[in-house]
Structure 1
């Protein structure tokens, strides 16, 4: 019988994301083929021993091997952090130095994903000489969206950052280059070691600290410029995708928009409100609950926040305002069309 090559998956977190990580990994396992094996490396950025045991219990399967790697977080003490993101977000930078030299290639996963497809298909993706494979970020699709997207006027209200690398001109980055999300990566670890990518990333964060947006994702896009290959967008459907009302009001064509909406292969809960919180407006939050029920945290119940009414009302008013603004733009375009026809 032919031996199936094990898939090597790396993820990591601190204690705050231990439970979501277990859910992510459970969703990976539930979509594996019966004969497919997987080697998991978990970078421990401060996971309690009890939580490590619960993660191991959540992924227990004869096809799965799991290894925890304790990380000295002092190595990340100077990295920029903010909001709901801690220094643990930077653990992926350490992949070349922490993993055994025998590991040549890995799939990196953030700890707030749901995997809806067999990762063996992603594992077989050819690198074609690229240092990393990634998917375009729906929240910031291009280095300069305003000068690149033909329908920018229609979708600019929904794009989070039209210029995610603010100093792209100084870095000689083409404005029409795509910008990727770093939550799911296929990494050529040998390439990273040979080129000392980790050192380049830390240097970039230090040198351009005042321009850093979205933490190490800024550095990854700068350092990997011209050296990354694009994955099908369905491998990383970010939460912000749902902000686009339609294909014509998005940076995607009709086919790509429909595929992302109806057939995501990976769901990425990128927003600050997560499906393990008491209130999460994400349309796929129910799927998270399904996989949660298959982990050692099956009895988890989120605590109701003291400002729940404020959060709920804020979401409702934002949704109503967005609908009103959209209708207003549609009516304006209708009148403009009629005026052009009359002229």
Structure 2
């Protein structure tokens, strides 16, 4: 009897505000997955409503894609405290650090995706890229190197790194969860973020790049193609910065059309873009929450 392939394992994290992004992402994966591997789609959820969960589960057939819900408060140990920086990123951005702990312990691979992505190719192609001796695979960020002034690793010299060291984007990660757990990567990243808090620019992306400097597998850029780039027929589109759900989206219009093509095949088919002021309000709320955490 032939040995069955282990399921493709994908992990995302979100709160209820960005469920609409998960809807488009999920449908894009569903439509473009042509091989016979089953997909386990884990959602680390931060107060996603019961109605939203029900609507998401209507998007795919459980025979092809199983949605598995994981409560964020159940994956973060009580003694773990995230560093409170001055950015407007929500605390939920750190949940990806716990992805290797929520899946079957026998699995040797997982794909982490930010929810502001859509997949334009068969996800099995990304899944089947060999990591070999690496713990993670990623795509170089559009800031390119660690000496970037607005991102990067400002204290790279003190860490013994050269300015031309490549800097990766953490929104799409191919991970060996066994090696991740063995190397205690989650605690290492959090420790780095706490120790060098004043240098942190892009939340946990800073910590991941410090821990994995010169030790990550570089993936083809098509697997994390930023929406501010021109259309090059990418395999995965990443809507960094302003998302297509906002009226002030200003990047590649073709990619926005693709997002809404997928969304039209979900219960959110009648969704219309919302004011960019809502985005700014969310950023202010995130900063206020961090100020409160500092006071606590």
Query: By the TM > 0.5 criterion, same fold?
Result: yes
- Contact 1:81-1:87 at 8 Å conserved across structures: no
2:269 is aligned to 298
Q: How does 1:11-50 map to 2 (within 5 A)?
A: 11-50=12-51
Give the direction of change, closer, same or farther, for the CA distance of 1:188–1:306 in structure 2 (3 Å limit).
Answer: closer
Instruction: Check the 8 A contact 2:111/2:127 in 1, yes or no.
Output: yes
Distance, in Å, in 2 between the alignment partners of 1:218 and 1:61 is 36
Report how far residue 280 of structure 1 moved.
Answer: 1.2
RMSD over equivalenced CA pairs, Å = 2.2
1:177 maps onto 2:147 in alignment: no
- Choose from 262, 278, 281 the match for 2:247: 278
- Choose the corresponding residue for 2:85, options 65, 74, 80: 80
2:8/2:127 contact within 8 Å kept: yes
Q: How do 1:329-340 residues align onto structure 2 when only pairs under 5 Å count?
A: none
TM-score by length of 2: 0.85
Structure with greater strand percent: 2
| Structure 2 residue matching 1:29: 3-state secondary structure | helix
Q: Which of 118, 125, 147 in structure 1 is aligned with 2:122?
A: 118
Matched, 1:201 2:189: yes
Q: CA deviation at 1:7?
A: 0.8
The gaps in structure 2 that reach 5 residues or longer are 279-296
CA apart distance, 1:38: 0.7
Please give the residue correspondences for 1:184-195 in structure 2 after superposition, counting only pairs within 5 Å: 184-195=172-183
TM-score by length of 1: 0.74
- The structure richer in helix per residue is 1
- Structure 1 portions without partners, runs of 5+: 146-159, 243-260, 308-343
Q: 1:101 to 1:61 in 2, by over 3 A?
A: closer
Query: In structure 1, how many angstroms separate the alpha carbons of the residues matched to 2:274 and 2:228?
Result: 25
Contact 1:107–1:123 (Cα < 8 Å) also in 2: yes
Which residue does 1:127 correspond to in 2?
131
- Any idea what SS the aligned residue of 1:96 has? helix
Task: Report the CA distance between 1:61 and its aligned residue.
Answer: 4.6
Distance 1:49 1:226, change over 3 A: same
- Secondary structure in 2 aligned to 1:144? coil
Aligned-pair distance for 1:89? 1.2
Higher relative contact order (CA 8 A, sep 6+): 2
